Amino acid sequence: MAPLPNIVILGDYERALRRFSKWEKLEQQAHLKIHHEPLRDEALYEAVKDADVIAIVRDRSPFNEAMIARLPKLKFLMFTGERNGTLEAGALVSRNIPMACTHGGPSKETTAELTWALILGTSKRLIEENKLIASGGWRDELSLLPMLSGQRLGVMGLGAIGSRVARVGNAFGMEVVTWSPRMTPERAAAENAKSVSLDELLSTSKVVTMHLVAGPGTKGIISADQLTLMRPDSILVNTSRAALINMPDLRKALIAGRPAQAAVDVFDVEPLPVDDPLRNTPNLLVTPHLGFIAEPIFEAFSKGITETLEAWLDQKPVPHPFKPE
């Protein structure tokens, strides 16, 4: 009788996967190990060195070509959601190792919601006002808050998330402008927005919110030169990918006062190290990558993992095979 395959699941930080699906069949057909702690480098290798199958929650566990080359037993890899920015998929393709993904669930909706929570929380200074109340105070001179209505909202990327954010901006009475590498006036107009240059968007918008895919043309697109263009009263929000912004440059810019504030949900290293200066940067609201943290999304992840792995073990077609572009 052939030995049971080893299945390793990585990145279940929230300990949520077992809540939303049935795992009994997998546990009968394989040796199953679910890791809840962040793993990188040698710790990651030790966790997966004997794995026949690896399943990754989002892109929390980076697999580059060198790591994949150290896994001779690997026969199948899957990840949750429809994109993984830390997986060098070409290394799997060259070894004919099949891949699969899951549905992302309503992550676009939840990310749009979080974007507006950050915009409103920052512009209305909710954290500062709450601290003032907690300390026994009441309103002070900083409580004269700006309005968003009538201001310009700059949306970088007008896809599924950016378009939702833009529609809320319109509902609040903001003027919506947009830019992306392939933006056209027609696409912008379809969302009641105006297509402008990146320099104009940055220099004229009260709020700049980022909804771009991090690729060769967009990584590091916001750095020192772009930040100096922003209005001294502006707010920069990123719920997309940390790679879009040079984070050390952002920290320096906030200390210098341009932009006035920023709100960030994504970071180069997650979880954010305890001693990372971004945890205590002035005028920076940080959240622990909450954009996709919602029950319906993890239900989709959990059911997607069990359905895919059961199909693979039964030698049936997997529901959502992944083929890199």
Kindly indicate the confidence band of residue 2, based on its pLDDT and cuts at 50, 70 and 90: confident
pLDDT at 325: 76
- Average pLDDT over every residue of 9-18: 97
Q: What pLDDT digit, counting tens, does each position of 299-314 carry?
A: 999 999 999 999 999 9
Q: Are strands 31-34 and 53-56 parallel, antiparallel or unpaired?
A: unpaired
Where residue 37 falls among pLDDT bands split at 50, 70, 90?
very high
The predicted model gives 19-27 an average pLDDT of: 96
**Cα–Cα distance, 32 to 34 (Å, whole number):** 7
Hey, what domains does the chain have and what are their CATH numbers? Answer: 6-106+294-313 (3.40.50.720), 108-286 (3.40.50.720)
Q: Kindly report, residue by residue over 201-233, the tens digit of the pLDDT.
A: 999 999 999 999 988 889 999 999 999 999 999
Whether residue 135 has pLDDT greater than 90: yes
* Helix and strand numbers, DSSP H then E, in the chain: 12, 12
pLDDT of residue 215: 86
pLDDT of residue 85: 86
3-state secondary structure of 155: strand
Per-residue confidence at 161, pLDDT binned at 50, 70, 90? very high
Residue 60 has pLDDT above 80, yes or no: yes
Helix, strand or coil, per DSSP, at residue 32: strand
Q: CA separation (Å) from 192 to 110, 165, 185, 203, 257?
A: 22, 12, 10, 20, 31
47, 8 in Cβ contact below 8 A? yes
Instruction: Tell which wins on pLDDT, 191 or 325.
Output: 191
Which run of H or E residues covers position 101? strand 99-101
* Share of residues in the chain with pLDDT > 90 (%): 93
CA atoms within 13 A on the CB side of 194: 12
| Mean pLDDT within 50-79 | 97
The whole-angstrom distance between residue 159's C-alpha and the CA centroid of its chain comes to 15
Number of other CB atoms surrounding residue 71 within 10 Å? 21
pLDDT (average), residues 238-256: 96
**Inter-residue contact 174 to 153 (CB < 8 Å):** yes
Q: How confident is the model at residue 273 (pLDDT cuts 50, 70, 90)?
A: very high
Task: Provide the whole-model pTM.
Answer: 0.90
The residue assigned the tokens 């992302």 is 104
Q: Which two tokens stand for residue 185?
A: 């006036």
Over range 6-18, report the average pLDDT: 97
What would the DSSP string read from start to end of 166-229?
HHHHHHTTPEEEEE-TT--HHHHHHTT-EE--HHHHHHH-SEEEE----STTTTT-BSHHHHTT
Over residues 167-193, the pLDDT tens digits come to 999 999 999 999 999 999 999 999 999
Q: What's the mean pLDDT when you consider all of the chain?
A: 96
| pLDDT exceeds cutoff 80 at 286 | yes
**Contact (CB, 8 A) for 20 and 297:** no
Q: Which residue has the tokens 């378009």?
A: 163
